[in-house]
Amino acid sequence: MTTTTTDMTKTAAGGPGRTPAPPERPAPRTPAPASGRVSVAVYAEDLILQTGVVQQLRPRPEIELIPQEEADSAQVSLVVVDVVNEAAVQLLHRLQRNTSTRTGLVVGYFEAGALQTLIEYGVAAVLRRGEADQDRLVHLVTAIAKGEGVLPGDLLGKLLDHVSSLHRTVLDPRGLSLSTLTTREAEMIRLVSEGYGTAEIAQKTSYSERTVKNVLHEVATRLDLRNRAHAVGYAMRHGLI
C-alpha cells in the first residue's frame, strides 16, 4: 500500500518559528488499489502532524494515500494545521484551483473569523484535531469523497448565523436571496402555484400586469423553463417556494 503524503511546507511556509519538515520519502508503488477506495493527499505544516495523520489512515482499506508527485490527482486533499494562518490560506487557495480534488481541514484551534475563509476557499469538511481519531478521520475523508460536508456542531451553528446575517444585512435590503430567484420572483411564482392569474398577482404584489409578465418571462428565460407550470415545478423541487 502506498503510504506517501504531501508536505505542506512544499507549497507554503509554516508559521513563525517553524522549521520546515522534510517530505516523507515515497514508498514503492503497489498495484492499483481495488475500486471503492478514496485517494487522499495529506498536507501538514510539520512532520509530527503529517506522520500522525498518515499513521491513522495507512491501515484502513478504504483509503489510498497518494505519493507527493501525484498529489494533484487525489480525490481528497486533507490539510492538517494548528491554526488557519496565512500559510494555510495560501495552500487552500491553491487547492481550490484544482477542480479534481475536494478539500478537508483538520485544525487544532479554530478562530471565529476563519469560517468565512473556509467558505471562500471551498473547504468541504472540518474536524478538530483533538477529535481526530482513526474512525473520525476516515469518516471525514469518505464523506468529502461523496460530496458531503462535515462540520462540528458549534461551527454549523456559526455557519447558520453567518447565512442569517448575510440575508439581513446584504440580501434582504436589495430584494435578493441565496437561491436562484429574487424575493420578488419567488413570491410571484408562489402565487402562480396557488392558482392566481396575472391580474390577481399584480393586485396582490402591487405591480403592474406588464411587470408581472416580464418578471415571469425573465425567470423562464434565465432558467430555461418552458412555461409557468414548469417554473412552479422547478421552484418546488429546489425548495425555492
Q: So what's the pLDDT on residue 4?
A: 46
Task: Tell me what pLDDT residue 95 has.
Answer: 93
How far is it, in rounded angstroms, from Cα 110 to Cα 119?
14
The answer to whether the beta carbons of residues 226 and 238 sit under 8 Å apart is no
Please tell me the distance from the alpha carbon of residue 27 to that of residue 8, in angstroms, as a whole number.
Answer: 18
Tell me the C-alpha distance between 188 and 216, whole Å: 8
At residue 238, the pLDDT reads 65
Residue 137 has pLDDT above 90, yes or no: yes
